[in-house]
Structure 1
Amino acid sequence: MSQPTEFGPGRPVVLRGGTVLPMDGAHQVLARADVLVVDDRIAAIGPDLPVPDGTAEIDATGGIVMPGMIDTHRHMWQTAMRGYGADWTLSQYFVWYYLEHGKLFRPEDVHAGNTLAAIEAIDAGVTTVVDWSHGLQTVDHADAAVDALRSVPGRFVLAYGNIQQAPAEWTAAPEFRDFVRRRITGDDMLGFQLAFDVTGDPAFPEKPAFEVARELGVAVTTHAGVWGATGDESIRLMHENGFMTPETVYVHAASLSADSYHRIAATGGSISVSTESEQSAGQGYPPTWAIRAHDIPVSLSMDTSVWWSGDLFTAMRTTLGADRSRLHMEAHAKGDTVTHCGLRADQIVDWATRGGARAIGRGDDLGSLEVGRKADLVLIKNEHSPVSFPLLNPYGHVVFQAQRGDVHTVLVDGRVVKYEHRLVGIDLPAVRRDIERTVDHLRSAMGEETWEKGMNPDIPETTILDNPYTYTEYHSASTHSASNHGASNHGASTRGA
């Protein structure tokens, strides 16, 4: 079978003979099936499909064809700092970005990070990413973020945020409204959300920002259930003021009570689980066990490359492992043994695809391979890897065996953006140069000693950041021991962490 090296605009594409995971409600497996793409849509699925003249054919034999994965929470602007915070706690992350060095990022640095993150996503088969962009200190930063996303052939949702100002302040600014008018045009490739957190302050200072979201008709994505920062009081305030909607996405949700989960379930929202983050940073134990008990929709995310991987293969693997680990440990504590797994590999793949589509309001055209839906899809195939065969349990293979290096082909909106393990039309050396300029700028602005210390932090004498949101003096007595109160000097204490 021919293996074309060029895919012209409007040229149909067919993937031949793969194991197809449509990600429909039945979680079918279609053996030796073809997927035909015409323009930006899936035109047909089945064996030995007839195709239009001139169709580009891709041999998917021995591989898995599945929907493009969807990441519902990624701080793309931080990608220039890849791996820098590998040994951080969440408190150290808050101090570095919220209090000390996050404000050093220029618009061009946001552009560089977003560009690299966007390319990294499509390379790993993540065709849609929610850019949880809380580094938008100015509209110039926001324009740079959008320019970067527009420059990469992926699908994105800009979740606009600004950790350097109160949500009520930046959402009320005329320049923010002007940005929305200029840049958010309803384009199919660029969605829009507002990204801010709710501290639990009884005064509910975030209320005006929710009202702006309601006025604009856009969803809010919020870090909820983050130990020491946002908790049950945040959920209660949102609920009592009528700001919990089916479109709301609660990120982490790992330190919440049953009452908060009930409120989320009753109002139809969804939870974005970032298992690598929750395991390592300490928001709380990855909460899929509790979410499933309350029948709340789930999507997956990787959070930030400052610490963790930029692919959803890792997210799937760690999420299933964490859920099963808790089940076993809970049973062991009672002297019992788990004999059957409740959470299965096919459900995890569903969360990485259909779950993400539902969370961003695209459940009708993304997240599954069905005729008439958008042609965002991935071929997992690696003829040079001994791990690529035998292919017995395709869902288990995706979750536990595959990795980003096995992504052979990626289509976004019907366009081939990766083929034979190589990105199509991406100038990676130019992106590298931009990232190097950002790193040089940050090192210079911080000074070499501070730069090195940030990457190699001391073991902190205290482990708290009572409230990273500087626009309110609220402190939560429910999330810290008595020795950690005394909150008026929280900035000074954490700077020493």
Structure 2
Amino acid sequence: MTQSQSAPEPGRPLVFRGGTVLPMDGSSSVLSDTDVLVVGDRIEAVGPSLEVPEGTQEIDARGGIVMPGMIDTHRHMWQTAMRGYGADWTLTQYFVWYYLEHGKKFRPEDIAAGNRLAAIESLDAGVTTTVDWSHNLQTVDHGEAAVEALRSVPGRFVMAYGNIQAGPWEWSADPAVRSLLERLRDAGDDRMGVQMAFDVTGDPAFPEKAAFEVARDLGIPVTTHAGVWGATSDTGIQQMYDGGFMTPETTYVHASTLTRDSYQRIAATGGSISVATESECSAGQGHAPTEQVLQYGIPVSLSMDTSVWWSGDMFSAMRSTLNADRMAEHLTAHLKGDTITHLRLRAKDVLEWCTKGGAHTIGRDSDLGSLEVGKKADVVLIKNDDSPVSFPMLNPIGHVVFQAQRGDVHTVVVDGRVVKHDGKLVGIDLAPVRQEIENTIEYLKGACGEEVWQAGMFPEMPEAEAAILDNPYQYSDFVDESKRAGGEERVLGR
């Protein structure tokens, strides 16, 4: 056996030696001084002092935490091309700038630039699988570019195909789009899944029905922004339910401002909710529905939404989710004159949501999301001997959730391949990626003009009559007045 100093060589067995292992196998186990052996693209063994094949490369995991790769079930990866641009946006301003201004100007190469950077960013943070909620694919060329960019990075992805610039009943009927979806479905590439991504406006005519029928015909899951204040409501859930389009494969993103009936329908039909708490807290979709997923037993995963506002790592997702839920729990009790003495949401829950829960959401329970023999070798080592925050490690689960960060991701393995080692990405040259992004920014600034570019980054207070974008989906004239009212029942989902 050889001990690894530089990045391990591809194709040879690999063992993580002596780490604290969090298998995330449903048992809440914490395994001290434990090894994880990877052979090919699979986990061969988990246990203490493992016997390993001749020539196995060793990574010293002592003092570190070995866990499954994290899974982000909803990120608009193309928007990473404008990282941090919308730091002070509300959801309405996001709709204005991305639905009506900047987003319309993205060329296929700009989609590719954002996707490639986002994909690399995921790996760097230990996110081994990312769902690309790619809702600016204005042409099939945009879609091809998005897929090519993801495939150029050695991570695991799900292409959730969408187009905010056209009605889903329109783009889903395009033979070229259908052909691309079929190719992704039939490719047999377990590092590239496929979904269809679109929202339901609540229009009584239910024009989105045609898109659901395409998804059903193709056998492709749907992911949809549900329960988003000012955009989607219980009406859309009712229409999906009545049409028989709510399935165990369906993902409901945010699902914040829904009522009991909608949560019960989601629970009864087996779908999953993707909670993007940092987004929900900052943009205004509604309060992260952590109370509701626990109350109704709804499967849940975590997501980061977009780097145009926030970070692209799941440490932020876990932290913000715990903090938001606990704040709500304490505040609700305080308003009644009560005191919370035991927290309902624990660190182990959110860690499970961004590993095993993510695998369930994308239909990969059988081979992703936990460190178990025979599962895919998507493995992360959290270790940073140069950091004073790396010790003492008394509560490993709490350490990952509240103490660790991107810089503590020592090694990342995807499909048995080491893509990050000793804190550095392996085989990835950032120089051309940086140039690609710079070209996109130069183009967008020119296409928008300096005044529009600056106005988008530093939005002014709108006039009172223009404060809310009534209908962010410009492909429809429908305005749902129920999105504006409902009181505590709608806001808190009770």
Shared fold (TM-score, shorter chain, > 0.5)? yes
User: What are the superposed Cα offsets for residues 259-294 of structure 1, whole Å, 9 maximum, x if unpaired?
Assistant: 100000000001000001000000001111111111
Match for residue 162 of structure 1? 163
Partner amino acid, structure 2, of 1:241: G
Q: What SS is found at the alignment partner of 1:156?
A: strand
- Following superposition, the deviation at residue 481 of structure 1 comes to 6.2
Partner amino acid, structure 1, of 2:372: E
Equivalent pair of 1:12/1:36 in contact (CA under 8 Å): yes
Q: What SS is found at the alignment partner of 1:49?
A: coil
Runs of 4+ in structure 1 displaced over 3 angstroms?
181-184
Match for residue 314 of structure 1? 316
Match for residue 490 of structure 1? none
User: What are the superposed Cα offsets for residues 13-62 of structure 1, whole Å, 9 maximum, x if unpaired?
Assistant: 00000000000111100000000000000000011101111111000000
User: What are the superposed Cα offsets for residues 208-230 of structure 1, whole Å, 9 maximum, x if unpaired?
Assistant: 00000001101000000000110
Q: What SS is found at the alignment partner of 1:178?
A: helix
Partner amino acid, structure 2, of 1:143: E
Equivalent pair of 2:42/2:373 in contact (CA under 8 Å): yes
- Supply the distance in 1 between the matched residues of 2:346 and 2:469 (Cα, whole angstroms): 37
Q: What SS is found at the alignment partner of 2:16?
A: strand
Structure 1, 347-356 or 184-193: larger mean CA deviation: 184-193
The structure 2 residue matched to 1:472, chosen from 469, 476, 487, is 476
- Supply the distance in 2 between the matched residues of 1:311 and 1:301 (Cα, whole angstroms): 9
Match for residue 151 of structure 1? 152
Match for residue 202 of structure 2? 200
- Supply the distance in 1 between the matched residues of 2:69 and 2:184 (Cα, whole angstroms): 25
Partner amino acid, structure 2, of 1:93: Y
Determine whether 1:463 maps to 2:464.
Answer: no
- Following superposition, the deviation at residue 183 of structure 1 comes to 4.2
Equivalent pair of 1:116/1:431 in contact (CA under 8 Å): yes
- Supply the distance in 2 between the matched residues of 1:329 and 1:379 (Cα, whole angstroms): 36
Match for residue 86 of structure 1? 87
The structure 1 residue matched to 2:242, chosen from 240, 264, 275, is 240
Equivalent pair of 1:4/1:56 in contact (CA under 8 Å): no
User: What are the superposed Cα offsets for residues 61-99 of structure 1, whole Å, 9 maximum, x if unpaired?
Assistant: 000000000000000001010000001110111111112
Partner amino acid, structure 1, of 2:393: L
User: What are the superposed Cα offsets for residues 230-282 of structure 1, whole Å, 9 maximum, x if unpaired?
Assistant: 01001000000100000000000000001100000000001000001000000
Match for residue 422 of structure 1? 424
Equivalent pair of 2:12/2:57 in contact (CA under 8 Å): yes
- Following superposition, the deviation at residue 4 of structure 1 comes to 3.4
Match for residue 494 of structure 1? none
- Following superposition, the deviation at residue 343 of structure 1 comes to 1.0
1:14-413 equivalent positions in 2, closer than 5 A? 14-184=15-185, 185-413=187-415
RMSD of aligned Cα (Å): 1.1
- Supply the distance in 2 between the matched residues of 1:207 and 1:6 (Cα, whole angstroms): 50
Q: What SS is found at the alignment partner of 1:260?
A: helix
- Following superposition, the deviation at residue 175 of structure 1 comes to 1.0
Match for residue 450 of structure 2? 448
- Supply the distance in 2 between the matched residues of 1:183 and 1:140 (Cα, whole angstroms): 15
- Supply the distance in 2 between the matched residues of 1:294 and 1:394 (Cα, whole angstroms): 29
Partner amino acid, structure 1, of 2:415: D
Match for residue 491 of structure 1? none
- Supply the distance in 2 between the matched residues of 1:480 and 1:191 (Cα, whole angstroms): 36
Unpaired runs of 5+ residues, structure 1, are 483-497
- Supply the distance in 2 between the matched residues of 1:222 and 1:478 (Cα, whole angstroms): 19
Partner amino acid, structure 2, of 1:465: L
- Supply the distance in 2 between the matched residues of 1:285 and 1:438 (Cα, whole angstroms): 34
- Following superposition, the deviation at residue 449 of structure 1 comes to 1.3
- Supply the distance in 2 between the matched residues of 1:199 and 1:342 (Cα, whole angstroms): 33
- Supply the distance in 1 between the matched residues of 2:418 and 2:283 (Cα, whole angstroms): 36
Q: What SS is found at the alignment partner of 1:101?
A: helix
Equivalent pair of 2:10/2:418 in contact (CA under 8 Å): no
- Supply the distance in 2 between the matched residues of 1:270 and 1:178 (Cα, whole angstroms): 27
Q: What SS is found at the alignment partner of 1:383?
A: coil
Count of residue pairs the alignment pairs up:
482
- Supply the distance in 2 between the matched residues of 1:456 and 1:140 (Cα, whole angstroms): 32
Match for residue 490 of structure 2? none
- Following superposition, the deviation at residue 168 of structure 1 comes to 0.5
Partner amino acid, structure 2, of 1:294: Y
Partner amino acid, structure 2, of 1:476: D
Match for residue 493 of structure 1? none
- Supply the distance in 1 between the matched residues of 2:47 and 2:413 (Cα, whole angstroms): 18
Structure 1, 1-10 or 155-164: larger mean CA deviation: 1-10
- Supply the distance in 2 between the matched residues of 1:308 and 1:72 (Cα, whole angstroms): 15
- Supply the distance in 1 between the matched residues of 2:101 and 2:118 (Cα, whole angstroms): 23
TM-score normalised to the size of structure 2? 0.96
- Supply the distance in 1 between the matched residues of 2:276 and 2:474 (Cα, whole angstroms): 25
- Following superposition, the deviation at residue 3 of structure 1 comes to 2.5
Q: What SS is found at the alignment partner of 2:484?
A: coil
Unpaired runs of 5+ residues, structure 2, are 487-494
- Supply the distance in 2 between the matched residues of 1:191 and 1:5 (Cα, whole angstroms): 32
TM-score normalised to the size of structure 1? 0.96
Equivalent pair of 2:7/2:418 in contact (CA under 8 Å): no
- Supply the distance in 2 between the matched residues of 1:205 and 1:181 (Cα, whole angstroms): 23
